[in-house]
Structure 1
Amino acid sequence: MNELFAPNALLPTGWARNVLLQWDEAGRLCTVAPDAVVPQGTPVAPGPVLPGMPNLHSHAFQRAFAGLTEYRGESQDSFWSWRNLMYRFAARITPESLEAIATWLYVEMLEAGYTSVCEFHYVHHDQDGTPYADDATLSQALLRAARNAGMGITLLPVLYQTSGFGAKPPRADQARFIRSTDNMLSLLERITPAAQAQGAVLGLAPHSLRAVPPDSLAAAVQGLTALSPEAPIHIHIAEQTQEVDDCIAWSGQRPVQWLLEHAPVDERWCLVHATHMTPQEYADAARTGAVAGICPTTEANLGDGIFDMPLWLQHGGRWGVGSDSHACVNAAEELLMLEYGQRLSLRQRNVLANAAQPEVATAMTLQAVAGGSQAAGRAIGGIAVGQQADLVALDAQHVALRDLPAHSMLSAHVFGSHRTSAIDSVWVAGQRRIAAGRHALHGDAAHAFVTARSATIAPD
C-alpha cells in the first residue's frame, strides 16, 4: 500500500485535517480518511495537499514560440495576425522537435501544479503536408513525451478540413493539419493500443465550425461514438468576434447557437473559449452539461475577450482551465488571471467565491478540478476514493505561506506568491514526479527544448 499523511487536504467537500491517503498499485485512491492518526513510518506532506489540476487545453508545440510574437507586425495586431506567425512556426516542426518541446512543457506543467493535460493536437503531417510513412508519428511523439515526463494525458487529434465557413478550401499553410474524417477515425484506431498502454485517454477535437463542415462534424462524432461511447470531444468555439460574424453570415446563427442545434452536445463536450455568447447561449450551453474550457492567460495574450463566468455559474455551468498557447505555464496563474479578469470587467472582488466556499482560491480550485476531470474523461476529479492519486503538496515553510491556516496558504499560493515557488511535491497516479519543486528531468529536458527551439525558429 502506498500512502501519505496530509495535516491538511482539500477534499471535494472542502478542507479536512489529518487526512490519511492510501492508493493501490494502479494509483487509485482507496482510502481518504480525515481525523486520522498518522501511522508510524507514513510519509507526511510538507504542507497542504491539493488535488492535481487538469490542464484541459494545450497546443504543445506553441510553447516554443511563447514571447516571440510580442511585437506589432500590422497596423492593428489581432488573433488573426498572431495566427499567421504561428503557422510559420508550425511549418518547421519535426517529430524530434515536437517531442522535445512537449517533454519540457509537460515537465513545466508538473512543476506548476498540473497533473494531466488535454492535448489538442493538429500538426499531423510532414512539412510539405505529405503524411508520414507512419501516419501516427506526431501523435506518438506526444504520447512518449507525456509518458517520459510522467504526465497524465488525454490526446485529442484534431479534425481540420477547411479554412473558413462554407467549406472554403484550406490554405497552403494549413496542409499539415488536414485529414479526412475516415482517416481521422483510422488514426484513433491506430493509436489506441499505445494510449491504453500508458493509461491515456483518446478523444476527438473538431477544430472549429469554420474548419469542419457540418457533414464531417456529424460523421466524425458518430464514428468516434462507435469507437468509444465515452470519449471526450473538444472544439474551439466563439473565441473571436470575427468568427461570430462569419458564422452568422454563413448560417444566420451564432457559433454556439448553431452547434447546440446541430450537434449532440452533452457532458462529453468541452467548449473551448466560448468567449462571445449571448445570455441565451450561456443558458442553453450550460444546460447541456458541457464544460467551458477557459484559458485566461492565452485569451488575454490574444485579445480574445472575457468570459462571463458569473452568468455561466448562474446557470450551473461547469468549467476548467487550460494554458492553450502556453504564454504562461502555471496552474495558479490561470486561476489568478481568471478572477482578475472578472474583477476588471465587473469592478468587484472575489467574484468566483460562493456561499459554500467564500475563499475564492478554494472555490476556483475545486470547480476547475471537477470540470477539468470531466473534460479529460479521466478519474482525476479530486481527492476522493476511486479517483487517481494526483496530488500537489504546498511548502508550508515558504515565506508567503508560513504560519498561515491551510485555506489561507492556498490563497497565498494563488494571489501572494510567485505561483510555482510554493509547490513542493507533485504525484501523478501515486508516483512522485516533483520533489522540492523540481522534476528529475528538468535539466535535460530544458536543454533539449532550447536546442529544438533554436532549430525551429524561422529566420527573419
Structure 2
Amino acid sequence: MKRLHAELALLPGGFAREVLIAWDEQGRLTEVQPDAARPEGAELIAGLVVPGLPNLHSHAFQRAFAGLTEYRGSTQDSFWTWRDLMYRFAGAITPDELEAIATQLYVEMLRAGYTSVCEFHYVHHDAAGRPYANPAEMSLRLVAAARRAGIGLTMLPVLYQTSGFGAEPPREDQKRFLNDVAGLLRIVEALRAQGVRSGVAPHSLRAVPPAALKDLLDGIAAIDAGAPIHIHVAEQMQEVDDCLAWSGQRPVQWLLDHAPVDERWCLVHATHLDAAEREQAARRGAVIGLAPSTEANLGDGLFDLPAWHGAWGIGSDSHASVDAAEELRLLEYGQRLARQQRNVSVAEAMWSAAVAGGAQAAGRPVAGLAVGQQADFVLLADAMLDGLAPAERLASHVFASHRREAVHEVWVGGRRVVHDGRHAEAEAAERGFLAARARLREALR
C-alpha cells in the first residue's frame, strides 16, 4: 500500500483539502479521503493535485515533422496539402525511428500533464507496403516506447483500405497503411497477448467501405465486446460534401444510421455537426474527441462545444502542441471568439470533463481521483500559483500561461514518472528523437 497526503486536490465532487490518497500494488486507488489527518509515513505534497488527463488522439510519428510544414506550399494551403507532406514522412519512417520519436513524444506528454494516450496507429507495413515478419512490429514499437516512458496506453490499430468514398482505390503513398479486416484483427490479438489495452480504429468513412466496417465491428465484438472504437469523422467540409455526394447523408448521420454507435465510440474531431447529429450522437453515448491545436493548425474549423451535451475529451493528434492545458485553453478561447463573450466554460469543469471523456474513450479506469480508478495524477506546484484559491490555481494554469513549468510531479499507476519537473528518460529520449528526425529529413531531401 502506498499513501500520500495532498494539501489540495481536485476530486470528482470538486476541490478538497487535506486529502489522503492510497493505492495498492496494482496501482489502483483504494482510498481518497478529504479532510483527513496525515498518517505516519504518508508523503506530504504541497500544491494542487489534479487527475492526469488522457490524451485520446495521437499519431505518434507525426511528432517528427511538427513545425516543418509551416510555409505556403500552394496558392491555398489546406488539410489536404498538409496530408501530402505527412504521407512523405509516413513513407520513410523505420521501426527504430518510430520507437525513438514515440518515446520522446510520450515523455513530453507526461511532462505536460497527460498520463495516458490513445494511439491511433496506421503505419503498419514496410516502405514497400509489405507486412513485417511480425505484422504487429510497428504497433509493438509504440508499446515499447510507452513502457519506457511510463505512460498508460490504449492501442488503436487502424483499418485503412480506400482513398475516398465509393471504394476509390488507395493511393501509392497509402500502401504502408493498408490491411484487410483479418490482418488488422491479428494485430489486435498480438497486442492483447502483450497485455495491452486495445481497440480498433476504422480510419474514416472515406477509407473503410461499409462492408469492411461491418466485418471489423463484428470481429472486434467477438474478441472484446467492450473494446474502444475510434474514427475520424466530419473533420473537414470537403469530407462532408464528398459523403453527401456518395450517400446523400452527412458523415456522422450515415455512421449513426449504419453502425452501432454507443459509448464505446469516439468520434474524432466531428468538427462539422448539425443539430440532429449532435442530439443523436449524444443520446447514443459517444465521446467527441477534440484536438484544438491540430484542428487550428490544419484550418479544420471550430467545434461548437456549448451545443454539445455529451462526453468529450482532448488529444494532441499531430502534436503541433503537446500541452494538456493549452488544448483546453484553445478550445475555450475559440468559443469566446465565436460568441464574443468570456468564460463560456471554466477550468474546473473543463478539466473534469476531459478526464471523464478521455477515460471513456481509452476504455481504461483512468477517470480521476476515485476509489477503483488508476492512481494517475499530477501535482501543479509553481511558486507563481502560491496564495491562490484552488480554482484560481487551476484557472491560472489553463488560461494564464506564462511559459512556466507548473507540472511538478506526475504519477501513473501509482508510479512517479516525473519528479521536480524532470523525467529520467528525457535526455536519452531527446537524443534518439533528434537523430531519427535528422535521418528522416535527409531521406526526404
Q: TM-score range by the shorter chain?
A: over 0.9
Aligned to 2:399: 415
Q: Secondary structure at the match of 2:308?
A: helix
By how many angstroms is 1:420 displaced?
6.1
- C-alpha change, 1:77 and 1:213, in structure 2 (3 Å) is same
CA spacing shift, 1:419–1:287, aligned 2, 3 Å: farther
Output the CA distance in 1 between the equivalents of 2:404 and 2:207. 36
For 1:398, the equivalent position in structure 2 comes to: 383
Residues 377, 411 of structure 2: 8 Å contact kept: yes
Shift of 1:398: 2.1
Paired residues of 2:8 and 2:46 also in contact (CA < 8 A): no
**TM-aligned CA deviation for residue 444 of structure 1:** 0.6
The separation in 1 between residues aligned to 2:404 and 2:200, in whole angstroms, is 31
Distance in structure 1 (CA, Å) of the matches to 2:95 and 2:327: 29
Please list the CA deviations of residues 411-435 of structure 1 after superposition, one character each: whole Å capped at 9, or x if unmatched: 1111123466111100000000000
Shift of 1:41: 2.7
State how 1:243-254 maps to structure 2 within 5 Å: 243-254=239-250
Q: Using a 3 Å threshold, how does the CA distance of structure 1 residues 83 and 342 change in structure 2: closer, same or farther?
A: same
Instruction: Kindly report which structure 2 residues correspond to 1:256-335, keeping only aligned pairs within 5 A, or say none.
Output: 256-313=252-309, 317-335=310-328
Paired-residue identity, %: 62
| 1:426 paired to 2:410 | yes
Question: Counterpart of 1:357?
Answer: none
Q: Which residue of 1 aligns with 2:85?
A: 85
1:74-111 Cα distance to aligned partner (Å, 9 max, x none): 10000000000000111111000000000000000000
CA contact under 8 A between 1:240 and 1:275: conserved in structure 2? Answer: yes
CA RMSD of aligned residues (A): 0.9
One-letter amino acid matched to 1:59: H
2:139 alignment partner in structure 1: 139
Does the alignment pair 1:124 with 2:124?
A: yes
**SS across alignment from 2:44:** coil
Q: Report matched runs for 1:170-189 at 5 Å.
A: 170-189=170-189
TM-score (norm 2): 0.99
Counterpart for residue 453 of structure 1: 437
Q: Secondary structure at the match of 1:404?
A: coil
Q: Quick one: distance in 2 between partners of 1:279 and 1:294?
A: 18
In 2, are the aligned partners of 1:294 and 1:321 still within 8 Å (CA)? Answer: yes
SS at match of 1:247: helix
Unpaired runs of 5+ residues, structure 1, are 353-359
State the Cα distance separating 1:402 from its structure 2 match: 1.6
Taking structure 1 as reference, are residues 420 and 140 closer, same or farther at Cα in structure 2, changes over 3 Å only? farther
Structure 1 residue 437, shift from structure 2 partner:
0.7
SS at match of 2:45: coil
Give a deviation string over 1:87-136, Cα, whole Å, max 9, x none.
01111110000000000000000000000000000000000101111111
Q: How many pairs are equivalent?
A: 444
**Superposed counterparts of 1:144-159, under 5 Å:** 144-159=144-159
Letter matched to residue 440 of structure 1: A
Identify the residue that residue 348 of structure 1 maps to in structure 2.
341
Match of 1:374 in 2: 360
Q: Which residue of 2 aligns with 1:53?
A: 53
Alpha-carbon distance in structure 2 between the residues aligned to 1:209 and 1:299:
19
For residues 404 and 61 of structure 2, the distance between their equivalents in structure 1, rounded to whole angstroms, comes to 22
The Cα shift of 1:192 comes to 1.3
**Letter in structure 1 aligned against 2:379:** A
What is the one-letter code of the residue matched to 1:221?
A: L
Q: Does 1:193 align with 2:188?
A: no
Q: Distance in 2 between matches of 1:36 and 1:414?
A: 28
* Residue 95 (structure 1) aligns with: 95
Q: Is 1:105 the counterpart of 2:105 in the alignment?
A: yes
Instruction: Please tell me whether the aligned partners of residues 100 and 433 of structure 2 are also in contact (alpha carbons under 8 angstroms).
Output: yes
Deviations 1:206-232 (A, max 9, x none): 000000000000110110010001100
Matched residues in 2 for 1:82 and 1:214: separation?
27
Structure 2, gaps ≥5 residues long: none
What's 1:236 paired with? 232
- How far apart in 2 are the matches of 1:191 and 1:348? 46
Tell me which residue corresponds to 1:7: 7
Task: Find the counterpart in structure 2 of residue 218 from structure 1.
Answer: 214
Deviation at 1:190, TM superposition (A): 2.1
1:386 aligns with 2:372: yes
